[in-house]
Amino acid sequence: MTVYVTGSSGVLGFEILSHLHDAGIAASGVARKPLPLRNGQLRQISTPEVLRAGWLPGRADATIVHCAGLASPRVHFNDFAELSRRDIEPQIRFAELLVAKGWRGHMIYLSSAGVYGDSASLPIPEDTPLAAKSWYALQKMSVEQGLSLLAQRHGFRLTILRVANVYGAALAGPTFGVVTILLDALRTGKAFRLFGGGTSLRDYIHASDFCAAVERCCRTPPRGPVTVLNLGTGEGTSLASLIELLPRVAGGTLNIVHQPQDGEVASSVLDISRTRAVLGWAPAVGLEEGLRRTVAVTR
């Protein structure tokens, strides 16, 4: 089995590439930037045109873990036309170029739990209607649909992973997710802005469990042309609970500044029963243990 990880110099791409390498899988990263860690230990194809497919060396059956693309929900777009031109069309064109080269392998696309928007019931199963509330989620939803059409039309296999909040990654900086934002505030004394009462729920999955699930996807042939899987823990944690737990694990005191609730998704907890059944996988790291590991690797 040959695996390529696009966007391997990013936070999640690097985690996946490192994990697959350590698991004995022949994996190569594909990215514009050099690997920030373990350079020389991991295979990397450096190219300014990750989404042009010229780097694929004729492997018709290769597995592609596709992480390259819009990485931050905070990127602003003026309108849908700009979003489509900059971050949707290049993703679909990438798959079309792969098909034109004769590739008919397995693509694992990292989507987001944000595609569900506000759901009336929790946990959220994969057949829940999609209702994106941000440009980022709309981009993920649009790319999902475009790739699904191409997979069914051209015969490659597609696994869509709707990923919850990953934490504990080696490259996660002080703005990558609420856990690292809280850790930075804890260590620097910066104010943390708490919108509303902090009662909305989120599903937090440790990077080790996330990578183990991606590995299972690489090793598990999809049952049909398109498989959609939620990737989380199935358990919700309120921000207020996280604010209480993290100082207990890491030590110190948070400077909390309360502000009115903004327009974010109310709560998001994923139903992972399908993922358990398809991959034979289950998360192994609880939130408190995951936070301890995160604190240990970021000291």
DSSP assignment of 188-221, as one string?
Answer: H--EEEEETTS--EE-EEEHHHHHHHHHHHHHS-
Judged against a pLDDT cut of 80, whether residue 160 lies above it is answered with yes
CB 27 within 8 A of CB 20: yes
Judged against a pLDDT cut of 80, whether residue 299 lies above it is answered with no
Average pLDDT over residues 177-201: 90
Judged against a pLDDT cut of 90, whether residue 173 lies above it is answered with no
Predicted confidence (pLDDT) per residue in 56-114, tens digit: 987 789 999 999 998 888 889 999 999 999 999 999 999 999 999 999 999 999 999 99
Lowest mean pLDDT among 188-202, 211-225, 226-240, 254-268: 254-268
The pLDDT value given to residue 262 = 57
Using 50, 70 and 90 to split pLDDT, how confident is the model at 120?
Answer: confident
**Is residue 122 left, alpha or beta, with left meaning phi > 0 and alpha meaning psi from -120 to 50?**
beta
Mean pLDDT for the chain overall: 93
What percent of the chain shows pLDDT beyond 70?
Answer: 98
Average pLDDT over residues 234-252: 94
Average pLDDT over residues 274-282: 97
Average pLDDT over residues 263-285: 90
CB 262 within 8 A of CB 113: no
The pLDDT value given to residue 179 = 94
What percent of the chain shows pLDDT beyond 90?
Answer: 80
pTM summary value: 0.94
Judged against a pLDDT cut of 70, whether residue 195 lies above it is answered with yes
User: Using CA atoms, how far apart are residues 44 and 35, in angstroms rounded to an integer?
Assistant: 8
Average pLDDT over residues 128-133: 94
User: Using CA atoms, how far apart are residues 36 and 171, in angstroms rounded to an integer?
Assistant: 8
Average pLDDT over residues 36-52: 92
The pLDDT value given to residue 74 = 83
Average pLDDT over residues 206-231: 95
The pLDDT value given to residue 141 = 98
The pLDDT value given to residue 264 = 59
CB 141 within 8 A of CB 83: no
The pLDDT value given to residue 188 = 92
The pLDDT value given to residue 263 = 53
Judged against a pLDDT cut of 90, whether residue 189 lies above it is answered with yes
The pLDDT value given to residue 261 = 62
